Structure 1
Amino acid sequence: MSAIADFLTGPWEHLFMQRAFAVAVMCGIVSGVIGAHVVLRGMAFIGDAVSHSVFPGVAIAFVFQFNLVLGGAIAGLLTALAVAVFSQNRRLKEDSVIGVFFAAAFGLGIVILSTAPGYSGSLESFLFGQILGISDGDVATVAVMGLLLLLVAAAIHKELVTVSLDRETAKAAGLPVFALDIVLYALVTVTVVISLQAVGNILVLALLITPAACARLLTDRIGTMMVLAPGIGAGSAVVGLYLSYAYNLAAGGLIVLVVTAVFILCWLLAPRHGLLVARRGRRSPAAESSQPGDPGPRPTPERVPLEESATS
């Protein structure tokens, strides 16, 4: 028992671990909420594009010696705005436009960094995360920005869901679809930027998408999904940090591996939509219990569409 107690309380004896837990939980919650909208929209690629589009902003900030996070945020928002504008041409699908600007932004970042000798080591924390080295100021920044993101997401939740489920109906209802697109892209961008210190540029997509994907497997109700996704994100971040402290391994990578393990478990064991549950349902001899004159077993209820559950 003492070993378990030491494992649970040991990290909290260090101030740097307390900061890491605070930022990890906040990033997990915010990423879960915003990621749920991304998964509903079917635009997971935008998370990857934004996480890489901040790269030229960080490169410029590094070359001219100003705040890396601010530079990344500006570049990400500009790229998100460009994607929103160019996606209005329905001749091109949204993922095609994202792919164009994703590649262009990353290429621009490489060109800019090539002008600064000895840059690779200085940007290691940006690429792979440095959650154990954050300051009190970083914790405060994540807290303030995270709260603002959650407030904005809550204020326009219904509108975002409506656009995600039926874009044409949203337009017919008079919703400002283009403006909502820009707001969602901006929410994703800021979420990615504040999560960079937790898992880094390369792994940030997992924190944004995987908890929401887990929640999508576990429920058909949007409200429940908005609760499950941040819970899974925050819980996985905490477990990953504990394992990082216990085994002296990279915190960002372990957080991603933990949330990926949760996704695999959900994919296999989700109560209604898990692979093993579905197979067991197909093998059940439902007809054996029917009696003469009995109309037969009741059909298995179909999955409630997400569109219907949104209004229930």
Structure 2
Amino acid sequence: MIDLLTAPLAYSFMQRGLIAALLVGIVCSVVGVYVVLRGMAFLGDALAHAILPGIAVGYLVNGANRGTLFWWALGTALVSTFSIGAISRATKIREDTAIGIVFAAMLALGVALISTVRNSAVDLSHFLFGNILGVSESDLWRITLFGIVVITVIILFYKELMVITFDPILAATLRLPVRFFDVLLLTLLAIAIVVAIQTVGVALTIAILVTPPATTAFFTHRMHTMMIAATGLAMIAGVVGLYASYYFSIASGSAIVLTSTLIFVLVWIGSRLRRRNV
């Protein structure tokens, strides 16, 4: 058993991958609590796919440098976030409609740009499907830096974000700048998505954001408890999934998401059995 646990850690790429999985799990699970409680899963999925144009442009400008692609992806995510709000306010249409418009346009633009890049299937696959075992030390520093920023902002504005999440009417009564905090939360979501993309890719990012917090909803509805529990579940899923990818030779991002989903199913079954016994 000890050999099974220590053997993968003999490789530096596994050590970096494990650290990245833990860091991403912390950041995404905390932000994901807001995504679940506010019903923002569709927005998260849209933003995850909306960064494709940034990745394609970054590749055309600087090649397959992961650091450069990260910044282009982050910029595109932020532009998409602000565009959704601007369209919704300017045209008076529902926010979900604005999300659909921006999502479709950015995804189409990303596919169009990627189709012009030679060997894009190889060079950009780590952003599309994740490559946690390819995380470098510089990637870890970026994940750590932005993770600290996200967690710090949430700690500083925890009470305000909690009021806006659970009781928007009370927030307006207290004259809280609701629009400012909505934009702030969307910005944090965009950062968390770009950070997660390096580990699980565009296709699976929304699962990392949603599944651990959704799992905690079976046994608690207190926001701080959800954050702590979701963080623990995300870290467990990251470690178990990474080891599973090593021993069963499967994609690491998929292994992490499947592990998180398995935990969700087990907790759901446990909650059903507990209700029957009560």
Normalised by the length of structure 2, the TM-score is 0.94
Distance 2:262 2:197 in 1: 21
Deviations 1:187-211 (A, max 9, x none): 0111111111111111011111111
Post-superposition Cα deviations, 1:40-81, rounded to whole Å, max 9, x if no partner, equal 111111110110011111111111226111111000001111
Cα shift at 1:88: 4.2
Query: Deviation at 1:31?
Result: 0.5
Shift in Å at residue 86 of structure 1? 3.2
Question: What's the C-alpha RMSD, in Å, of the aligned pairs?
Answer: 1.6
2:175 alignment partner, SS class: coil
Report the counterpart of residue 261 of structure 2 in structure 1: 260
Count, aligned residues: 274
* Unpaired stretches in structure 2, ≥5 consecutive residues: none
Structure 1's unaligned 5+ residue stretches are 282-312
Q: Cα–Cα, structure 1 residues 128 and 22, in superposed 2: closer, same or farther, change >3 Å? A: same
Greater CA drift, 134-143 or 91-100: 91-100
CA contact (8 A) 1:84 1:181 kept: no
Alignment of 1:272-287 (within 5 A): 274-281=271-278
Counterpart for residue 48 of structure 1: 45
2:218 and 2:117 mapped to 1: Cα distance? Answer: 45
2:143 paired with 1:142: yes
Matches of 1:86 and 1:69 in 2, distance apart? 26
CA deviations over 1:160-203 (Å, ceiling 9, x no partner): 11111122221221111111111111101111111111111110
CA-CA distance at 1:99 after TM superposition: 1.6
Q: Superposed, which structure 2 residues align to 1:1-312 within 5 Å?
A: 4-65=1-62, 67-88=68-89, 92-269=93-270, 274-281=271-278
Q: Give distance in 1, aligned partners of 2:223 and 2:232.
A: 14
The structure having more radius of gyration, on CA atoms, is 1
Code of the aligned partner of 2:186: Y
Superposed displacement of residue 89, structure 1: 7.0
Shift of 1:115: 2.7
Change (3 A) 1:158 1:86: farther
- Give the Cα separation in 1 of the matches to 2:269 and 2:277: 12
Q: Answer whether contact 1:63 1:113 (CA < 8 A) is retained.
A: no
AA of the residue aligned to 1:259: S
Matched residue SS, 2:51: helix
Q: Deviation digits for residues 265-307 of structure 1, max 9, x if unmatched?
A: 12221xxxx22333444xxxxxxxxxxxxxxxxxxxxxxxxxx
Task: Using the TM superposition, name which of 165-174 and 18-27 deviates more.
Answer: 165-174
Q: Residue 107 of structure 1 aligns to which amino acid in structure 2? A: A
Structure 1 SS opposite 2:116: coil
Q: CA deviation at 1:133?
A: 1.2
Partner letter of residue 34 of structure 1? Answer: V
Find the aligned partners of 1:93 and 1:275 in 2 and give their Cα distance. Answer: 36
Corresponding residue SS for 2:15: helix
SS at match of 1:277: helix
User: Cα offset for 1:114?
Assistant: 2.7
Aligned AA for 1:105?
M
Residues 88 and 219 of structure 1: CA distance in aligned 2, closer, same or farther (over 3 Å): farther
Q: 251-260 or 111-120: which moved more?
A: 111-120
TM-score between both structures, scaled by the size of structure 1: 0.84
Q: Which amino acid aligns with 2:81?
A: A
